[in-house]
Structure 1
Amino acid sequence: MNTSTQTVLNVKGVGKCYTKFNSVHHRLFSWMGLPVKPAYQYWANKDISFTVGQGEAIAIIGQNGAGKSTLLKMITGTVRPSVGEIAVNGRVSAMLELGLGFNAEFTGRQNAYMAGGLMGLSTAALDQLIPEIEAFAEIGDFFDQALRVYSSGMQARLAFAVATAVRPDILIVDEILSVGDSYFQHRSFERIRQFKEQGTSIILVTHGMGEVRSLCDRVILIDKGNILKQGAPDEVVDFYNAMIALKENERAQIEQSRDQQGWLKTKSGNGTATVKHLSLLPENSTEELAVAQVGQKLKLHCEVDVHGEIGELVFGVMLRDKQGSVIWGSNTWHTKLVQKDLQTGDKLVYTLPFECNLGPGSYSITTALTRGESHLDQNFEWSDNLLVFDVINVDKAVFIGNHWLDTTFEVAVHKHATLHSSTTQ
């Protein structure tokens, strides 16, 4: 983050401890400052420190129960931290729980007025904003019906429309958009992007790693209430994916490094099977390519070594662009080419022919060696961005985007007939 950017949020040494006492009297004595030993203590968060700059978007990720929601509640002031300080500079708009602050018996319109009032908006201001809120929510006649008849997706639409009716200094979103349909999710994230461009700081909690990669400047990974890692989106997201696999196999290790072109390489797994060599080749050649042409016929060549007994081996490939978005991915589980009963010393060669229907740019290949459909079953080796290559356009018409379509324009012109008359003298 640019250090010259104004800091809008400063979280310093924050922790939240939930304490259980043996009796109500013991709790009362504790409030009075008397030394009482609690029956049980649980730290939902501990020693959390980070800052957020104006216009910066950060994601807070982690598994369920990691402490993400508790942290957001402390930032918004609905929960007081047990230790530490939180300094907020600006107006905060938060969507933490579906229906939070809404009344099930009130209509959508009434709830919009009530929630807007809690946000500090006057009735006069809301009178001006309600038509826009109604239009953005797109729930039709339900806007004037009781909230109790709403689906979860309709509640999410209303909540987001109200929370973003006025651009805040800090916008906090906690998973609420995941219950909406894809159309509304697209519109919502487009509004979030516009807010970010206009200077709003974004704090996003989501399990959608594609959203994290495309929107966020920085990612904070929380595990068991503590910050485990924070940094660039690709670095933290890839580490998180590897960490999930690590939980399934204690012998697995995680290694990370960044190459000279800026691509982050993350490797995890227990090493029972490993990729010996991965290369990109022309269709009828053994000469390895670092640069491919748009439309060129290629093949991916992968050599795998086995270092132990494996009942089932699945080989997977994922193609990503420079922003980390997945272009394509599949594995031999889905194509029914699972290899079984492998022994130490066995070697396998996988070949994947394809046509390079990619736009000019830089791309990477991620490989996975697993036991089942995904690396969550058993991860022998997962290598993010193991192979990086560039694509250039040599002989195709100029186009934009990361996909090339083998097509051309067709045009038919129908000229308007003009009638001319002449007069003979």
Structure 2
Amino acid sequence: MPLISIRNITKKYHTFASDWDRFVEAITNGRIRRRHEHWILKGVSLEAEPGESIGIIGYNGAGKSTLLKIVLGVSTPDSGTVAIDGRVAGLLELGVGFHPEFTGRENATISCQLLGLDPAEIPPLVEEIKRFSELEDYFDEPMRTYSTGMQMRLAFSASTAVRPEILVVDEALAVGDAYFQHKSMARIRRFREAGTTLFLVSHDPTAIKNLCDRALILEEGVVIRDGRPDEVLDYYQAMVNRRKKDEEIRQFSNDGVVVTRSGDARMEISAIQILDMDGKPGRVFKTGETARIRQTITCNDPGVRPNVGIMIRDRLGNHIYGTNTHLKKVAIDDRFEVGTRFHVDFDVELRLGAGSYNVSVAVVDDALHSSHLDWIDQAVVFQVMPDGVPDYAGLTPLPARLSYGRGPGIETGTEPVAAGEQLGADRVEAGD
């Protein structure tokens, strides 16, 4: 049974051009209408199962925050139904519900009381909020003295002090230092593993790929894409890149991988190949081998100066390596005739761990970097195999040296070596 069931909800807001228009409508009891209606959500439907994690993306004003407020119950739809089975916790606008003159401790206590907890449960929970937020002495200072990052620490710590059935987060984790962001993400992952349903609005594609099972795009209050995070994010990236009305976004399947293509086709990628250094096609490489990624491009507009690039991602969609002819200072400034074909090779040493990787390719106008000519996400997939028995763990075999030494105090362990002190004369080294 779905934990959340949203059926065909709509939401609109009213604005007035002036206070006089508002006054006229008020004194005529609405008989003379001067308001302007702005539809924020238009027939949105979705369901979420227990433990499911959903990422919501879209342009500013698309209706993302309004949808989350309806899930939280702080706003109601104009039509449609919302059924929620479970306790909901939310982190929307920072500091909402907190009093600036109250201390962090007092605000945390009020937050726990609003959860309906037994009074005996609250003091230890407040101490846990203090510990997790790491506000130290500031925990007993008024919130008006807090920085934005400190407010986020307190808000997140208080909102997640008790694991909810449903957790709603609206971009708030983008505030604050990287350390606390990682700490917050770790708590969200633990909640997910325990069965919490997550709604996450974020412009960080890595967060959505790592935390969400599913993603959807809201555009002008309508869900236009709903599916796997990598496919939806590729489509959204194409939307962001689109600048001209005649650019088209297309998605199709290639060897079981959903490929997203966009651009105005003034330069068109007509072929993509992965070759070994002997020029033979290959899809499987050993760690450390060099792969040649070749793009063959057809000119449809002689006035364009192309900038050609690649991006390698892992199976989770994380960016591993990307570059282009502009960054490499390789100018392609020949004036091509219509129909001319040329190719660009990227020779990449694959210092990668074993796994599956994909390559996205693109050609843009070097004079107008925002103008995408042809962009293909997940254009080709290749595999990396270990060369022998790997002596490392992780994503990439970084060059590393290992040292082992014996000296005074090392054998007994009674005299720790100070930082920067040499280990002794007897030393064995190994590494790359």
Structure 1, residues 152-210: CA drift from partner, whole Å, max 9, x if none?
11111110000110000000000011011111111111110110000000000000011
SS in 1 for 2:397: coil
Report whether the alignment pairs 1:364 with 2:389: no
| Paired position in structure 1 for 2:253 | 258
1:321 counterpart letter in structure 2: D
Whether the 8 Å CA contact 2:57–2:203 is kept in 1: the answer is: yes
The C-alpha deviation readout for 1:128-155, integer Å capped at 9, x for no partner, is 1112111111122211111112111111
State the percentage of identical aligned residues.
35
Aligned length in residues: 405
**Which of 30, 41, 52 does residue 56 from structure 1 map onto?**
52
The answer as to 2:373 corresponding to 1:380 is yes
Is the 1:365–1:388 Cα contact (8 Å) retained in structure 2? yes
- 2:66 counterpart residue number: 70
Instruction: Please state whether the residue corresponding to 2:327 is helix, strand or coil.
Output: coil
TM-score, normalised via structure 2 length: 0.88
Q: CA deviation at 1:276?
A: 2.2
Instruction: Say which of 85, 91, 106 aligns to 1:110.
Output: 106
C-alpha distance in 2 between matches for 1:397 and 1:324: 23
Q: Match for 1:166 among 162, 166, 180? A: 162
Q: Is 1:17 matched up with 2:12?
A: yes
Q: 1:273 to 1:235 in 2, by over 3 A?
A: same
Return the alpha-carbon distance in structure 2 between the equivalents of residues 405 and 352 of structure 1.
21
2:422 corresponding residue in structure 1:
none
Shift of 1:109: 1.0
User: For residue 421 of structure 1, what is the aligned residue in structure 2?
Assistant: none
Report the alpha carbon displacement of residue 275 of structure 1 after superposing the two structures with TM.
Answer: 1.6
The residue that corresponds to 2:313 in the other structure is: 320
* Conservation of the 8 A alpha-carbon contact between 1:310 and 1:341: no
**1:338 & 1:78 partners in 2: Cα distance?**
55
Spell out the pairing of 1:12-51 with structure 2 (5 A cutoff).
12-20=7-15, 22-24=21-23, 26=25, 37=33, 39-51=35-47
How far does residue 409 in structure 1 lie from its aligned partner after superposition?
4.7
Distance change (3 Å), C-alpha of 1:373 and 1:240: farther
Structure 1 residue 342: Cα displacement: 3.6
Extract unaligned runs of 5+ from structure 1. Answer: 1-5, 418-425
Query: Does 2:339 match 1:345?
Result: yes
* Amino acid paired to 2:78: S
Q: What is the CA–CA distance in structure 2 between the aligned matches of 1:100 and 1:108, rounded to whole Å?
A: 13
* Paired AA for residue 139 in structure 1: L
2: distance between equivalents of 1:338 and 1:165? 55
CA-atom RMSD, angstroms? 2.2
What letter is aligned with 2:295?
Answer: C
Partner of 2:191: 195
Instruction: Give me the TM-score of the superposition, normalised by structure 1.
Output: 0.89
Alignment map for 1:22-421 (pairs within 5 Å): 22-24=21-23, 26=25, 37=33, 39-246=35-242, 248-260=243-255, 262-283=256-277, 285-340=278-333, 342-343=335-336, 344-372=338-366, 377-407=370-400, 409-412=402-405, 416=411
CA drift of 1:27 comes to 5.2
Q: How far does residue 71 in structure 1 lie from its aligned partner after superposition? A: 1.0
Corresponding residue SS for 2:249: strand
For 1:270 and 1:203, how far apart are their aligned partners in 2? 34
1:384 is displaced (CA, Å) by: 0.5
- Amino acid in the other structure paired with 1:287: K
Match of 1:339, SS state, is coil
CA distance in 2, matches of 1:125, 1:295: 56
Tell me, which stretches of 5 or more residues in structure 2 are unaligned?
Answer: 413-432
